[in-house]
Chains A and B, each alone.
Chain A
Amino acid sequence: MVGNDVVDLEEAKRTSNWERPRYLEKLFTSKELQFIHDCKNPFLMVWRLWSMKEAAYKLYTQQNPSRFYNPKSFECDISNLNGIVKFKDFECNVKTQITSRYIISEARFLDSEMTSKIIELKGNLPKSHSDILKEALLIQLSKSHQLSKENFKFQKSEFGIPTVLCNSVKIQVSISHHGYFGAYVI
């Protein structure tokens, strides 16, 4: 099981104002606010922590099917590019990669290399972004299973949790989309 989350840094700059009054306090714990306060680039830290929380939430809801909005309760601890996120008695490892254009995080229970595939969506109509992402995921699965693509069907549960159905077997996946970047992981 894995949860992932991508943040398009241009999109984050354009559509969110993290310096807005009360914004940070709504999303982050006092410990996380300290990380943001202490680092050289608060903007990157805000979005890194955000992507860690989102990735952890996606992993949590795969294990505990549900849907809610409580980013503050997913508390991050970080050292270098590794992190741990805790929520109630749930705990997972979260790895993050930061480039000049995007941040990607992956949450897992066990230590593992990151395997998310990043897809650049620039040049495509926003409406088609999620379809392009799903198509890429199905092609990847069809290659790795050596079965034709028609065997794979993307679906979302009532809680919005994605899986791919292959001959009545459910394959756990995670997808993420923000601005001009998409990411999927199997």
Chain B
Amino acid sequence: MTNDELITKLKAIIAPYVQDEKAFENLTEDTDFINDLKVNSANLVDIILDIEDEFSIRLENEDMEKMLDVKAAMLIINTKLKT
């Protein structure tokens, strides 16, 4: 999967939880889920569960710990897909 394909998939997952549409339109790898997209911290776990379902992977506590921005999410997904 290319980075562009991965970002497209991630955007579809994140969309329902976004509270700042403008930041979402301008999403880049540096976009922060909570600070930029204003995702509620209680919904971060929904994003994590949706990622698990979409990519058929399981994320551990240590993976979740860093899952605060698009870049970190991409890195974790790519690592899990390779193992």
Contacts and interface: CB of A to CB of B under 8 A. Distances in A.
Interface in B46-79: 46, 48-49, 52, 61, 64-68
A70 interface: yes
Nearest to B72: A69
A69 B49 contact: no
A50 interface: yes
Interface string A7-47: 10000100111001111001100000000000000000000
A142 B13 CA distance: 43
B45 A26 contact: yes
Contacts, number: 48
Nearest to A130: B38
Contacts of B48: 26
A95 B3 CA distance: 45
B46 A20 contact: yes
A15 B41 CA distance: 11
Interface in A72-117: 72-73
Contacts of B31: none
B1 interface: no
A69 B44 contact: yes
A26 B19 CA distance: 23
A69 B63 CA distance: 9
Interface in A152-180: 160, 178
Which 8 residue pairs are nearest across A and B when measured between Cβ atoms?
Answer: A70-B65, A68-B65, A26-B45, A16-B42, A69-B64, A72-B61, A69-B67, A69-B65
Interface of A: 7, 12, 15-17, 20-23, 26-27, 50, 54, 67-73, 126, 160, 178
Interface of B: 17, 19, 34-35, 40-46, 48-49, 52, 61, 64-68
